């Protein structure tokens, strides 16, 4: 049997994972001494409510090594194969931990794919892996396909504020205050072309100009219609609906079920009121 596994950065709901028969390794998030497992003991909504009110800034961390050891050891004992698709190695130590535990268990039937993406982009890869598994493809065939697919998977995010990157120590004090005073909305981009890192290629005054940047990118890169387009949001849907409406104007109709909430792993860095898009470019 081929087991598809992912972490909570893919932003699936638990019911979706169960329906697809995907093994789930949750990230953890803590506010001071309060520790939670993402989507298990704290919901996405609860996380953002606390993010905005708690005096303790949250810390997120990768799944417990014990979870990897259990998954890989059970697969080895049952002669199953595992394909694990975590968030980009440039954004978390999740990938490297999985590689280390695979080596410790000593089982070649474990395949670990550095997604070079996260949230909706990671979701696209996992869903395609599930589809290929259900069609009867071998683990190696699935891995080969996903390794190519990830090269064309893109995410663009409009952040409402740089406050949370500042609190995470990702940007300097001066840059944060200049952006806040100027009502600047930064664009964050992550994908294969950025080596899975989160770059800020552009900044715009106001949400409408920031969304226009994304629309221009979509028209330039032309999403592959064989794959879904996901519009993501953090806590509040308003800006995601604005983005979806602009996408519809250029011919891309976004279904409500493809407008998905982002959880703690990514949300701790981009903050509330952000919107984003994930797609596979042609």
Tell whether the model's pLDDT for residue 278 goes beyond 70. yes
Confidence of residue 160 (pLDDT cuts 50, 70, 90): confident
Confidence of residue 169 (pLDDT cuts 50, 70, 90): low
Strands 34-37 and 28-31, how do they pair? antiparallel
**What is the rounded CA–CA span in Å between residue 161 and residue 182?**
11
**Would you state the pLDDT for residue 168?**
60
Confidence of residue 261 (pLDDT cuts 50, 70, 90): very high
Tell whether the model's pLDDT for residue 177 goes beyond 50. no
Contact call for residues 41 and 34 (beta carbons, < 8 A): no
**Which one is the CATH code of 2-151: 1.10.10.60, 3.10.110.10, 3.30.70.640, 3.40.50.10170?**
3.40.50.10170
pLDDT tens for each residue of 13-24: 999 999 999 999
Locate 212 and state its tokens: 């226009």
Confidence of residue 174 (pLDDT cuts 50, 70, 90): very low
Q: Which of 270, 9, 51, 57 is nearest to 164 (CA)?
A: 270
Fold classification of 152-280 is Hypothetical Protein Tm841; Chain: A;domain 3 (3.30.1180)
Tell whether the model's pLDDT for residue 238 goes beyond 90. yes
**What is the rounded CA–CA span in Å between residue 47 and residue 44?**
5
pLDDT tens for each residue of 83-119: 999 999 999 999 999 999 999 999 999 999 999 999 9
In sequence order, what DSSP letters do the residues of 244-277 get, joined into one string? HHHHHHTT-PPPGGGEEE--HHHHHHH-TT-EEE
Confidence of residue 190 (pLDDT cuts 50, 70, 90): very high
**What is the rounded CA–CA span in Å between residue 195 and residue 211?**
24
**What is the rounded CA–CA span in Å between residue 210 and residue 202?**
8
Q: Which of 99, 106, 97 is nearest to 76 (CA)?
A: 106
**Would you state the pLDDT for residue 176?**
47
**Would you state the pLDDT for residue 178?**
47
Instruction: Return the DSSP state at 187.
Output: E
- The answer to which of 10-19, 63-72, 149-158, 193-202 has the lowest mean pLDDT is 193-202
Domain range list for the chain: 2-151, 152-280
pLDDT tens for each residue of 118-130: 999 999 999 999 9
Tell whether the model's pLDDT for residue 173 goes beyond 80. no
Contact call for residues 115 and 85 (beta carbons, < 8 A): yes
**Would you state the pLDDT for residue 3?**
98
């Amino acid at each position: 049997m081929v087991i598809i596994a992912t972490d909570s950065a893919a932003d699936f709901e638990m019911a979706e994972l169960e329906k697809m028969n995907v093994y789930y390794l949750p990230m953890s998030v803590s506010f001071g001494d309060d520790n939670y497992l993402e989507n298990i003991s704290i919901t996405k909504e609860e996380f953002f409510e606390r993010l905005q009110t708690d005096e303790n800034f949250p810390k997120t961390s990768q799944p417990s090594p014990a979870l990897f050891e259990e998954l890989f050891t059970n697969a080895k004992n049952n002669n199953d194969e595992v394909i694990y698709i975590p968030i980009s190695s440039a954004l978390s130590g999740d990938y490297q931990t999985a590689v280390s535990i695979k080596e410790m268990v000593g089982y070649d039937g474990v395949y670990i794919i550095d997604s070079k993406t996260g949230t909706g982009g990671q979701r696209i890869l996992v869903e395609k892996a599930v589809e290929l598994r259900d069609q009867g493809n071998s683990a190696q065939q699935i891995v080969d396909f996903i390794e190519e697919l990830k090269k064309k998977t893109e995410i663009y995010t409009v952040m409402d504020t740089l406050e949370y990157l500042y609190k995470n120590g990702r940007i300097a004090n001066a840059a944060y205050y200049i952006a806040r005073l100027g009502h600047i909305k930064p664009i964050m981009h992550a994908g294969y072309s950025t080596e899975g890192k989160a770059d800020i290629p552009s900044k715009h005054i106001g949400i409408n100009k920031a969304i226009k940047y994304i629309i221009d990118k979509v028209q330039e890169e032309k999403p592959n219609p064989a794959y879904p387009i996901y519009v993501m949001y953090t806590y509040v849907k308003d800006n995601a609906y604005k983005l979806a409406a602009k996408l519809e104007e250029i011919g891309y109709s976004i279904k409500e079920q493809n407008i998905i909430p982002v959880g703690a792993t990514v949300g701790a860095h981009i903050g509330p009121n952000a919107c984003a898009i994930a797609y596979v470019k042609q």
